[in-house]
Amino acid sequence: MKIAVSATAEGLDAAIDVRFGRCAYFTIVEVEDSSIKGSESIKNPGVAAMRGAGIQAAQIVASKGVKVVITGNIGPNAFAALAQTGIKIVTGVFGVSVKEAVEKYLKGELQETKAPTMPSFGPGRRAGAGRGFEGGGFGQGRGMGRGGGRAL
């Protein structure tokens, strides 16, 4: 069985990257009889993508014959793309190495996730939209303070 883990660097000793679609690397771990037999690290080309990083990441791991993905968080598009291919998704993993994460999964200490853990930032939505950022609130710069925009 192959398990893909989002990683900050190459190799089994690399830390888990809590981002799936924008992780630095995917470490594909080959598991046989509940033990690690080998691994391959793949640099994630979607790390700086303008959009579609999650779907691109899902396609990469699916093309490698992966059966399980272990990561910190996953967005709705990547979640749907992975789920559609039958790949199990495990989230909420952080602060451990790739090897430790796989070992925890094999011991049954990590459970499959049933829903995305990050919001959608699709067309028409931006991170922070409607929350006071980018002109979305907090007075909106109309000079409504003490001086009404006049020099005092």
pLDDT above 70 (res 50): yes
CATH number at residue 50: 3.30.420.130
Residue 87 falls within a domain, yes or no? yes
- Helix H segments across 33-133? 53-63, 76-84, 98-106
Residue 16 falls within a domain, yes or no? yes
Place of tokens 């899902």: 58
* pTM for the predicted model, two decimal places: 0.77
Residue 112 falls within a domain, yes or no? no
Give the mean model confidence (pLDDT) for residues 39-58: 90
Ramachandran angles phi, psi of 40, nearest 5°: -140, 135
**CA atoms of 20 and 122, how far apart (whole Å):** 16
pLDDT (tens digit per residue) in 104-127:
999 999 999 888 888 765 544 444
Residue 46 falls within a domain, yes or no? yes
Residue 118 falls within a domain, yes or no? no
pLDDT (tens digit per residue) in 82-100:
999 999 999 999 999 999 9
Q: For residue 47, what are the domain limits?
A: 2-106
pLDDT above 70 (res 22): yes
Angle between helices 53-63 and 76-84 (to 10 degrees): 30
Name the average pLDDT for the chain: 84
Sign, Cα dihedral of 128, 131, 136, 118? positive
Residue 12 falls within a domain, yes or no? yes
Residue 86 falls within a domain, yes or no? yes
How many structural domains compose the chain? 1
Confidence of residue 81 (pLDDT cuts 50, 70, 90): very high
Residue 73 falls within a domain, yes or no? yes
Order of strands across the sheet with 88-90? 35-43, 25-32, 2-7, 68-70, 88-90
User: Hey, which bits of the chain come out as E strands?
Assistant: 2-7, 25-32, 35-43, 68-70, 88-90
Tokens of residue 74, six digits: 């996953």
